[in-house]
């Protein structure tokens, strides 16, 4: 067979295609410049695209994330932009998805995998807990595991069984995993970029009810901010909680989908003359004891809020840590507002199960207040 000789028309076509792609990227960046309403989903999509642009070793795969762009469209357009070799669909086999990611990470790649829904991830748990979490320790640090496990999780969308669950405690209890969950559009971008850059495996929990929430965000500024921090070796979100609302009378400690509920409760309390500080945990593992305890020592009271059932939960761990570290600063016991200790209910009962403003305010009222 004779070798293929590139003709001038083919060369011109290749140049034209490359120019078109460059023009498209420039247009996207120009559109992103300056604060504008951006959805949580778009921030994640942009973070994934920027990470893929910056590192050819970043690959995305999972069920329906290629041509469809994912159930929630988080990977929309990424297959068309980066090709099927870097963003592709897999069979319906979560254990196989996780196992393949481990093998790819062992060979120098940075896989980002999607579990589609929280309760769909359980078939992959053996791979995650037994191998992904333990590989660096098993090899005495010789083998990195730069894998991000993306999991749309928690309630608020009226999903049926297996489509809404709060599984953070399983992963937080597994040594070797980082567990992160953003609650704002800006943090969705920042935290995804940091997760992908990590050499440790990250379980990245994405609150489903926030996917189409919007905030005014400058994506170009976020990109520049992240790149500057990364160049300096800084990780502004990993292991760092944030003060979502300042207050003086009590601290509401929340993460992921519960942060917006805590903020709504704080706003309602302010109308009654009570000042509540809201702490957004952001990084469940590693946990920011310093920032959380600084707030509780200031206010003297704390309520931990989480959608997951309360028994043996992340909320239980936060409560214990605060109680141990802030005992002499507390005016009342640390209390919790969580989901009930039952399987996630049918859609019409979801509102009774999830922590709401009234339950939070009733719990705050039960803290030992002086007359």
| Residue spans of beta strands (DSSP E) within 46-122 | 58-62, 87-89, 110-114
Please give the distance of CA 368 from its chain centroid, rounded to a whole number: 34
Residue indicated by tokens 């109680």: 323
Closest CA to 179 of 233, 227, 132: 132
Helix (H, G, I), strand (E, B) or coil at 204: strand
- CA distances from residue 115 to 148, 246, 305, 345 in whole angstroms, order as listed: 11, 35, 25, 21
- CA distances from residue 91 to 100, 119, 129 in whole angstroms, order as listed: 12, 17, 21
Half-sphere exposure of 296 (CA within 13 A, CB side): 30
Q: What are phi and psi of 351, to 5 degrees?
A: -65, -30
Q: What are phi and psi of 305, to 5 degrees?
A: -120, 130
Catalytic residue among 4, 163, 173, 328: 163
Cβ pair 236, 190 in contact under 8 A: yes
The token pair at 253 is 């400690």
d(CA 96, CA 113): 11
> What strands, in cross-sheet order, belong to the sheet with 242-245?
242-245, 276-280, 250-254, 302-309, 335-339
Q: Is residue 328 annotated as part of the catalytic site, yes or no? A: no
Parallel, antiparallel, or unpaired: how do β-strands 214-217 and 36-39 relate? Answer: antiparallel
Just list the catalytic residues.
Answer: 163
């Amino acid at each position: 067979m004779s070798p293929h000789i590139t003709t001038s028309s083919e060369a011109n076509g290749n140049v034209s295609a490359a120019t078109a792609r460059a023009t498209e990227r420039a247009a996207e960046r120009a559109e992103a410049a300056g604060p504008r309403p951006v959805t949580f989903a778009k921030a994640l999509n942009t973070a994934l695209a920027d990470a893929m642009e910056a590192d050819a070793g970043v690959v995305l795969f999972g069920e329906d994330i290629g041509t469809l762009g994912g159930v929630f469209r988080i990977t929309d357009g990424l297959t068309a932009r980066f090709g099927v070799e870097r963003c592709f669909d897999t069979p319906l086999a979560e254990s196989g998805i996780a196992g393949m990611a481990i093998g790819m990470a062992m060979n120098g790649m940075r896989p980002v995998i999607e579990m589609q829904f929280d309760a769909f991830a359980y078939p992959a748990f053996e791979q995650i807990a037994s191998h992904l979490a333990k590989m660096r320790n098993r090899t005495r640090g010789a083998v990195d595991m730069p894998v991000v496990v993306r999991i749309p999780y928690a309630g608020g969308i009226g999903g049926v069984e297996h489509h809404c669950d709060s599984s953070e405690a399983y992963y937080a209890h597994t040594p070797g995993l980082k567990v992160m969950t953003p609650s704002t559009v800006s943090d969705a971008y920042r935290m995804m970029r940091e997760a992908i850059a990590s050499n440790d495996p990250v379980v990245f929990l994405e609150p489903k009810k926030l996917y189409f929430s919007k905030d005014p965000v400058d994506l170009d500024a976020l990109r520049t901010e992240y790149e500057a921090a990364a160049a300096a070796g800084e990780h502004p979100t990993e292991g760092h909680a944030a003060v979502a609302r300042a207050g003086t009378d009590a601290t509401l400690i929340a993460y992921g989908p519960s942060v917006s509920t805590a903020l709504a409760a704080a706003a309602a309390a302010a109308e009654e003359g009570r000042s509540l500080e809201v702490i957004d945990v952001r990084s469940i593992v590693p946990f920011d004891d310093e920032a959380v305890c600084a707030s509780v020592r200031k206010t003297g009271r704390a309520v931990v809020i989480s959608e997951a059932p309360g028994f043996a939960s992340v909320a239980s761990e936060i409560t214990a840590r605060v109680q141990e570290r802030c005992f002499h600063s507390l005016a009342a016991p640390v209390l919790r507002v969580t989901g009930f200790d039952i399987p996630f209910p049918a859609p019409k009962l979801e509102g009774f199960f999830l922590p709401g403003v009234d339950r939070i305010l009733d719990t705050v009222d039960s803290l030992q207040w002086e007359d």
